[in-house]
Every structure is written in structure tokens, then in C-alpha cells.
Amino acid sequence: MNAEPANEPISKVNPWRNIPGRTFFIFLAAVFFTFSAMGFLGDIAGMGLQSPIRFVGGVALSGIFAVFYAYGGIRLRGSFWKAFLPLLVLQIAVMSFLSNWFPDAPRPAQRNAADTARLQSRLNFDTEATTFVVFLGYAGFVFVFVSESRRHIRVHTEKAVLESEMEAAREIQQVILPGSGESFSGFRVDSVYAPAQQVGGDFFQILTDGAGGILLVLGDVAGKGLPAAMLVSMLVGSIRTAAEETAEPAQILSTLHERLIGRTRGGFSTALAARIAQDGQVFIANAGHLAPYLDGKEVALPGALPLGVTGGGQCEEMSLTLAPGSRLTFYTDGVVEARNQSGDLFGFDRTQAISTETAAAIVEAAVHFGQSDDITVVTIERLPA
């Protein structure tokens, strides 16, 4: 239920999105200081003859354009040329403007002692300034490297812990959900559960009704991942507790609704409960779930709100007969919501067309088509006497 949107292609993900703001600022500052050294080196190459405006502009623009190049390269990645070419043309135009409007001072044919002293002082300043800005840039890069390395280690550690917890949750969920091939006298029961992630939001229980029949409860909670799995665990426990007191489908769904409405915040679930008596009489109550198929035909069920929704919990019970050799097929919306690469849904027509096949075949068809949500299929066939 509520399948999450597809992840963004890696080529379109903004690498800056998860970087702390301070680290982002320091990185760009380090780029600025490092490449502003080109302005000082240009003044050294010109023997200190640049005008003050051109000198300051050359230093500032060298750093500023380097920041633009760095940001554009990381942001656009494979499409960097879209920013590089316009920036290069702009940089050449601006530097040419400075050179034409603020030309170098004429180079003297001879230098006296005072000119030589001023030149030496200018070159010393350029050398010291170059050393200083390169040091600032280097220090900034080191800070970014160290801080991002620490953050990378912390994120991977947290991810490993989360993966361990998810694996533990998956193992618990596999234990509490029935395995395939449950045996019931007079019936052939088959079930397949295929979560879209490590843990899922689908749940089902196949129990005896205490009189030789079968009690099935199947549903799909809102959401995904660990929160959905925890809600599933609570519902499975509630189903087993409720089944000890009654086998009436409507009463079981009412009990589950009370557990959800009183113990969760915003959590809700579709659910369907069915009791299949030994003589083939079937009693079904539905709370917003998909209707099952009987020998390839959809069973008409009265509508009702999902469990956990205000005003829900009142489910009308209907009955039908499961003749010897007939089959009921129950499923969750992960089947009909399977989506291929073209964006087409598996849909109800395809689902109905294969509803007489085994649970494994139905799940395999949906997964092969393009699984996007948890998939559960339960088939119950009444065996000939």
C-alpha cells in the first residue's frame, strides 16, 4: 500500500544535498583561496606593473570563477560542459576588459634604487600572499576531508546498525507469518509472501476455526519499512488473540480496528477476514481490501472503511459456497500495482486472468512484470470428497 516513488537517477542527485552547510561553505572558500593565488602569480609574472584595480580584480576573479567551476562541475557532473563553456567565455571577456581598461604601467628602461626597492617589496608581498592563500585553501580542504570522512564513517556505521535491525525484523516477520504449504483436512492451501524490501507491510494468518474449517485474515498496512513491519507484528498478535475467542470474520476485524484506533497514531490497514467451514460455507468480512476471486470471478463484497480509520470497524459479513474443486484466491494490491518499465500497471484484468493459477505462479508473474510493493497471494482449494 502507498508504494514509494522511484528513486532519483544517480546522475540527477545533487551531491550537495546531504553535506552540512558549514562544510559546503568551507569547501568553496578553500577553492576560492587556492585559485586566487593565480592573481598574485600573475602580478609576479608582470613584475608588479599591474594597476591596483587590475591587480585586485585579477585576484578576486581568479577565485570567484574557480568557485563557479567547482560548483558547476559537482552539481552538473556529466553535463559540466553546459556551465564550463559559458563561464570560460565570460572569464576571458572580463579579464580582457580589465587588461584593456587598466593596462600595466610602462616598464622602465632603467631602475633606480627606489624603484628596485618598491619592486622588491611588491614581489615579496605577492610571494607571501600566495603562500598565505594557498595555506588557507589547503587548510580548508583538509578540514573538509577530515569532517566528511568522520561523517562518512558515522553514516556507514548507522547504516550497518539499521541494516542489522532490518535483518532481525525480517527474520522475526518470517517467523510470525505462515509458511507455504499449510495443511488442512479437506483443503489445499498455498501462500506466497514477497516483500518489496527486507520487511513488508503485508500480513496474513491461516488458522483453524476450531471446527475443521479455516480462518484466514489478510491485509496491508499503510507505509513501508520498519514502522510498517512493527505494525504488522502487532496485528498478527492481535489476530491470534482474537481467534482464540471467536472465528467470526466481522468480529475479528472489529477487534483489530479497536487495537489500531487506540494504539497507533495515523496508522491504518486494509484487511479481509474469511472463515471457510468444513462443508464449504464461506463467510467473509472486508475492511477496504481487494475482493478475492472464486474460480476466476471476482467476489462482490460490500464496501467498508479500512481498519484504524475513524468511523471504521463496522464490517458487513457475506457468505458464499466453495464447492469441491473450487478455489478462492486472495491477494494484496502489490499484484495489481506491479508496474513495468513503460509505466503500465499489471492491473485487475491481468490479475483476474491468472487468478486460477497457483500462488507461486501469480506472484512470479507480478514480480516479473515489475514489483513495486509487497505482494501476498493465498489460494484455498476445496478438495473433492
Distances 17 to 23, 74, 144, 154, 196 between C-alpha atoms, Å = 12, 12, 15, 17, 27
The DSSP symbol for 324 reads T
Evaluate if residue 197 carries a pLDDT over 80: no
Average pLDDT over residues 233-247: 90
Q: Per residue in 268-284, pLDDT tens?
A: 899 999 999 999 999 99
Domain limits, the chain: 10-168, 177-382
Q: Taking the model in full, what pTM does it have?
A: 0.61
Q: What is the pLDDT of residues 36-48, one digit of tens each?
A: 998 888 888 878 7
The pLDDT of residue 3: 44
Q: Which residues contact 89 (CB under 8 A, 6 or more apart)?
A: none
Residue 191 has phi, psi (to 5 degrees) of -145, 145
* Residue bearing the bigger pLDDT, 2 or 229: 229
In the chain, the amino acid numbered 339 is R
Confidence at residue 70, expressed as pLDDT on a 0 to 100 scale? 85
Q: Strand 214-221 and strand 202-208: pairing?
A: antiparallel
Closest by CA position to 213, among listed 239, 186, 189: 186
Tens of pLDDT, residue by residue over 170-182, are 666 565 667 555 6
Give 173 or 27, the one with higher predicted confidence: 27
- Quick check: 207 pLDDT over 80? yes
> Where is average pLDDT lowest: 65-69, 71-75, 204-208?
71-75
DSSP state of 185: T
b/e for 117-143, b at 16 or more Cβ within 10 A? eeeeebeeebeebbeebbebbeebbeb
Quick one: which of 109, 19, 93, 95 has its CA closest to 53? 95
Report which of residues 206 and 18 the model is more confident about. Answer: 206
Q: 227 — phi, psi (to 5°)?
A: -60, -40
User: What's residue 180's pLDDT?
Assistant: 57
- For the domain spanning 177-382, the CATH number is 3.60.40.10
Sequence-ordered list of residues with C-beta below 8 angstroms from that of 129, at least 6 positions apart, any chain: 37, 40
pLDDT on residue 266 = 60
Q: What is the pLDDT of residue 10?
A: 43
> Lowest-confidence range among 2-6, 53-57, 128-132, 236-240?
2-6
Taking only the tens place, the pLDDT of each residue in 336-365 is 999 999 999 999 999 999 999 999 999 999
pLDDT per residue as tens digits for the range 104-123:
777 766 767 777 788 888 88
| Coil vs helix vs strand at 46 | coil
**Residue 200 above 70 pLDDT?**
yes
Q: Which residue has the higher pLDDT, 368 or 303?
A: 368
pLDDT in tens, 3-13: 444 444 444 55
